[in-house]
Structure formats: structure tokens, C-alpha cells
Structure 1
């Protein structure tokens, strides 16, 4: 997923503490790619935030669906029994 932190919002300075190993990796990557550590850190933060926002949205959608009156659930025991039957002579049909 391409990122560009050249948004309409002005850039701000953020100081964070990171483990020395992460700092070393960031320095190595900056050197290898010809990018600044700041550029790479900003890209990493943006990517992380995008991913987290997507996950939160997906979870909220799933919770809303699960809470709807049309939601259907299968008991854990039924699913477990079905899965445990796989590969046996008495393999069960999937629970409905």
C-alpha cells in the first residue's frame, strides 16, 4: 500500500523512545534506501495507524452484525465435535 506523508496537514515534531535495536535497524534502512530516519519513521507510523483503523472498523462491523437480530451462531461444542471427527470413519457434516 503506497504511503505519502505529504498531506495537507502541516508536519509536527514528535519525540519517541525506541529500543536501541530498532534505532540501529532504522539507521541501516535509511542508509540502504537513501531516505531519512524521519521519513521512514513517519511512513511506519502512518502504515500502523492505517492498519489499526482498518482493523477497528472491521471489528466494529462484525460486532454490529453479531448483535443484529439476524445473527446466527453455532455452539462451540458442535464445532469442536465436527472438527474432531475429521479424518475418522465417522466424519460429521458441518453444523448448521
Structure 2
């Protein structure tokens, strides 16, 4: 396992300490858990964007009829 040092704003450090005490977890555990969730979400988003760009580059777009059908579905539900 790697070791990493970082500077936290005081308010974040205080909140982390309070949460660690309240949950019975270490500050390291909570920081790793938060970072794990953030990295997974960001990696998923980047992957989806890259996939969408590849589809667009391949000319894989919705037809005008498909777009119209979706727009009608949602505008009819609003009324």
C-alpha cells in the first residue's frame, strides 16, 4: 500500500475527525472510502463520455424521428 500526504483545509480536517469519532472509524478509513467513491464515479463518467464520443465519431446518432418521439413523450407528460 502506498503512503500519501496531503494538506486539508482546517474545516475539512475537523469534519473528518468528528465523523471518525462518531462512526468509530479511522480518519484514514473515511478518507480512503470517500476517495474510492469519487474515483469510481469520475472513472465511470469519463468512460461514458469516451464511449459517447466514439459513437458520435462513428455517426451513431438518434434519428430525427427518435428524437421527436422522446420529446413528445416528455412534453405530453408535463401537461
Whether TM exceeds 0.5 here: the answer is yes
Q: Which has the higher helix share?
A: 2
Q: Gapped runs of 5+ residues in structure 1?
A: 1-10, 75-85, 87-96
Alpha-carbon deviation of 1:18? 1.1
| 4+ residue runs over 4 A deviation | none
Structure of higher RCO (CA pairs closer than 8 Å, 6+ residues apart): 1
Structure number with larger C-alpha Rg? 1
Q: Gapped runs of 5+ residues in structure 2?
A: 65-74
Rounded to whole Å, the distance in 1 between the matches of 2:60 and 2:41 is 29
What CA RMSD, in Å, does the superposition of the two structures yield over aligned residues? 1.9
Q: Equivalent residue for 2:43?
A: 53
Number of residue pairs the alignment of both structures matches? 66
Q: Equivalent residue for 2:32?
A: 42
Rounded to whole Å, the distance in 2 between the matches of 1:24 and 1:47 is 21
TM-score (norm 2): 0.73
Rounded to whole Å, the distance in 2 between the matches of 1:55 and 1:69 is 21
TM-score (norm 1): 0.61
